[in-house]
């Protein structure tokens, strides 16, 4: 086996990046080539993604990657889940909607009048999130299209001209059978959806083919594209530097995805009631987890205050000595953009609780509330799945937040191992590298590569 370079495109809901990964015998490193902001854009008909801007950033980033490392062999793309574009005659029908748009609220009722929540859970194993793709489909005026493509698959299509549905991300649509891993034809029919728009499924590690000639010209090299765990959370969990099996993970970026990895889904009534999801992972693993509102609460608060000094605010929040009130970080009231500190204050007032008095105390309250929700979700994941948990791996952007890591250790009573920050891009790199023969073995051996290259920072409960 040799060594080689791959390019990882990782699109998060608040920022995107193109990274170069170098993988070889017992070697793993990544370095950023391009970073760019992302976020909801308000249009006349609701919240969307500025997909053309993202496309421009991705193409420029890939061209820069090729200039830096002309031998780069493959590209993999991951992003947030559930959102999609409709394609007809090779063209995109409008800009993709943002999952935080409120068009989904009425759609949820329509879907539930056709298929009950319990039947949905038995079929797809997903926690109820109002933005799961099946609800968004029900909110569409028309599904008259040749295909729907989830965001990473849309980039795959732009890069190669081929339309596929990568399986880990397809599992977040609500229309993939949790037991067979195939599109759920019976459910699709009951919901009256056109079966013809569902692309052929592929697994992570599958080659999607070479770049289209015009794209190769634009990027400056003839590369191939490889399917990765294209749901960002699937890629992040690949790169958890676990040394043992008894770990929980928190993939903390815009969201905090908190759970355990399993071989089989848990479809009990108790896990449905606790709103735990069974998402498809790389190598057929199951991500049994709960979505907790994550750094979104902080980034939206800073935006409302017109501040961009998160490190300073966190340092001040860490030295708040009195107690601050804690809110339910799972409350759907915090889903939409705008006025976050006001909405949190309202949450407290509605319950007769005095809201935090200053911006610093508000930050402390948010971080405490996230830590409480993280600790609860770890405990519940372990109880519902029967899996022992003796350590929590916190990966992603949130792993840089020392206060959050320490409070999560304190509230859970478990050690928290923090990092890597770029877990998602690293998982993306590793799945490509394995497909190219630059790395080999199970997820456990990929994870030991991560542990050796990015040793995590340890926080013990106080
Ligand atoms: C995280 C994530 C979550 C998904 C949410 C919406 O970035 O992909 O896993 O529930 O975004 O797509």
Taken in order 279, 282, 286, 288, the sign of the CA dihedral is negative
Can you point out the beta strands (E) in 207-362?
Answer: 207-210, 224-226, 247-252, 255-262, 277-280, 286-293
The closest-lying atom of ligand 1 relative to the alpha carbon of residue 83 is 12
323 preceded by cis ω (within 30°)?
no
Q: Rounded mean pLDDT of 164-168? A: 98
Mean pLDDT taken over the chain: 97
Tokens read off for 194: 């056109």
pLDDT at 242: 98
Residue having the nearest C-alpha atom to atom 7 of ligand 1: 80
Residue having the nearest C-alpha atom to atom 4 of ligand 1: 81
CA distance 72 to 87: 30
Residue having the nearest C-alpha atom to atom 11 of ligand 1: 80
- CA 254–ligand 1 middle distance (angstroms): 8
pLDDT at 307: 98
104 lines ligand 1 (CB under 6 A): no
Which of 82, 129, 151, 289 has most ligand 1 atoms within 8 Å of CB, for mutation?
82
- CA 3–ligand 1 middle distance (angstroms): 32
Q: Rounded mean pLDDT of 377-402? A: 98
- CA 233–ligand 1 middle distance (angstroms): 7
pLDDT digit string, tens, across residues 326-370: 999 999 999 999 999 999 999 999 999 999 999 999 999 999 999
Closest residue by Cα to residue 255 from 318, 298, 224:
298
Q: In what order do the strands lie in the sheet with 84-88?
A: 91-92, 84-88, 147-150
175 lines ligand 1 (CB under 6 A): no
Share of the chain above pLDDT 90, in %: 99
On the question of pLDDT at 157 being above 90, the answer is: yes
Confidence bin at 2 (pLDDT 50/70/90): confident
Confidence bin at 373 (pLDDT 50/70/90): very high
- CA 413–ligand 1 middle distance (angstroms): 27
pLDDT at 1: 62
CA distance 26 to 321: 46
Share of the chain above pLDDT 70, in %: 100
Tokens read off for 78: 């991951």
410 lines ligand 1 (CB under 6 A): no
CA distance 384 to 337: 32
Q: Rounded mean pLDDT of 227-236? A: 98
81 lines ligand 1 (CB under 6 A): yes
State the residue for tokens 């009048």: 113
291 lines ligand 1 (CB under 6 A): yes
Closest residue by Cα to residue 221 from 425, 33, 435, 62:
62
- CA 333–ligand 1 middle distance (angstroms): 17
DSSP codes, 91-112: EE-SPPBPTT-TTHHHHHHHHH
255 lines ligand 1 (CB under 6 A): yes
Closest residue by Cα to residue 201 from 184, 219, 225:
184
Q: Rounded mean pLDDT of 235-257? A: 98
- Is the complex ipTM more than 0.90? yes
Residue having the nearest C-alpha atom to atom 1 of ligand 1: 80
State the residue for tokens 């108790």: 270
pLDDT at 401: 98
Report yes or no: 76 and 7 within 8 Å, Cβ to Cβ.
yes
pLDDT at 229: 98
- CA 357–ligand 1 middle distance (angstroms): 32
Q: How many residues does the chain have?
A: 462
Tokens read off for 27: 């070697």
Q: 316-354: string of b/e by CB count within 10 Å (b at 16+)?
A: bbeebeeebbbbbbbeeebbebeebbebbbebbeeeeee
pLDDT digit string, tens, across residues 50-62: 999 999 999 999 9
pLDDT at 26: 85
Q: 162-194: string of b/e by CB count within 10 Å (b at 16+)?
A: bbbbbbbbbbbbbbbbbeeeebbeebbeebebe
420 preceded by cis ω (within 30°)?
yes
CA distance 234 to 286: 9
78 lines ligand 1 (CB under 6 A): no
On the question of pLDDT at 395 being above 80, the answer is: yes
Q: Rounded mean pLDDT of 246-256? A: 98
Which of 172, 228, 337, 396 has most ligand 1 atoms within 8 Å of CB, for mutation?
172
99 lines ligand 1 (CB under 6 A): yes
The closest-lying atom of ligand 1 relative to the alpha carbon of residue 279 is 9
pLDDT at 287: 98
Hey, which residues does 92 pair with through a beta bridge?
87
The closest-lying atom of ligand 1 relative to the alpha carbon of residue 291 is 10
pLDDT digit string, tens, across residues 293-323: 999 999 999 999 999 999 999 999 999 999 9
Confidence bin at 25 (pLDDT 50/70/90): confident
296 lines ligand 1 (CB under 6 A): no
Output the pTM of the full model: 0.98
Tokens read off for 122: 């038995």
Q: Exposed, middle or buried by CB within 10 Å (0-12, 13-18, 19+), for 203?
A: middle
295 lines ligand 1 (CB under 6 A): no
SS3 462: coil
Confidence bin at 49 (pLDDT 50/70/90): very high
254 lines ligand 1 (CB under 6 A): yes
pLDDT digit string, tens, across residues 67-92: 999 999 999 999 999 999 999 999 99
347 lines ligand 1 (CB under 6 A): no
- CA 396–ligand 1 middle distance (angstroms): 13
CA distances to 125, 190, 192 from 120, in Å: 7, 11, 15
Provide the annotated active-site residues.
232
- CA 132–ligand 1 middle distance (angstroms): 10
């Amino acid at each position: 086996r040799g060594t080689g370079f791959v390019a990882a495109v990782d699109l998060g809901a608040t920022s995107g990046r193109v990274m170069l990964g170098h993988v070889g015998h017992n070697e793993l490193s990544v370095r950023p080539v391009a970073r760019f902001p992302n976020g909801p854009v308000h249009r006349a008909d609701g919240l969307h993604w500025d997909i053309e801007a993202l496309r421009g950033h991705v193409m420029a980033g890939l061209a820069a990657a090729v200039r830096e490392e002309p031998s780069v062999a493959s590209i993999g793309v991951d992003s947030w889940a559930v959102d999609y574009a409709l394609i007809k005659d090779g063209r995109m029908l409008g800009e993709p909607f943002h999952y935080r748009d409120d068009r989904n609220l009425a759609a949820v009722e329509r879907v539930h009048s056709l298929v009950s929540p319990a039947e949905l859970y038995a079929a797809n194993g997903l926690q109820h999130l109002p933005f799961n793709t099946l609800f968004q489909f029900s909110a569409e005026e028309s599904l008259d299209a040749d295909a729907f493509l989830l965001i990473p698959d849309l980039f795959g299509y732009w890069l190669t001209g081929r339309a596929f549905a990568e399986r880990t991300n397809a599992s977040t649509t609500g229309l993939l059978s949790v037991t067979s891993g195939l599109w759920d034809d019976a459910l699709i029919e009951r919901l009256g959806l056109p079966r013809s728009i569902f692309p052929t499924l592929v697994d992570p590690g599958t080659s999607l083919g070479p770049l289209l000639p015009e794209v190769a010209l634009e990027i400056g090299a003839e590369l191939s594209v490889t399917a990765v765990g294209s749901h960002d959370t699937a890629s992040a969990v690949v790169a958890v530097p676990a040394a043992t099996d008894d770990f929980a993970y928190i993939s903390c970026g815009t969201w905090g995805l908190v759970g355990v990895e399993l071989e089989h889904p848990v479809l009990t009534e108790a896990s449905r009631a606790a709103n735990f999801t069974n998402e498809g992972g790389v190598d057929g693993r199951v991500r049994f987890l709960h979505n907790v509102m994550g750094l979104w609460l902080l980034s939206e608060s800073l935006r409302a205050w017109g501040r961009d000094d998160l490190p300073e605010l966190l340092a001040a929040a860490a030295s708040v000595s009195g107690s601050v009130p804690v809110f339910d970080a799972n409350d759907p009231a915090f889903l939409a953009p705008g006025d976050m500190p006001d909405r949190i204050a309202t949450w407290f007032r509605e319950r007769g609780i005095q809201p935090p008095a200053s911006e610093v105390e508000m930050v402390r309250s948010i971080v405490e509330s996230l830590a409480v929700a993280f600790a609860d979700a770890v405990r519940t994941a372990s109880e519902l799945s029967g899996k022992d948990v003796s350590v929590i791996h916190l990966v992603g952007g949130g792993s840089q937040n020392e206060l959050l890591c320490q409070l999560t250790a304190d509230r859970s009573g478990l050690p928290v191992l923090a990092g890597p920050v770029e877990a998602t891009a690293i998982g993306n790199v590793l799945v490509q590298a394995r497909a190219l023969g630059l790395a080999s073995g199970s997820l456990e051996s990929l994870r030991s590569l991560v542990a050796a290259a990015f040793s995590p920072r340890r926080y013990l409960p106080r």
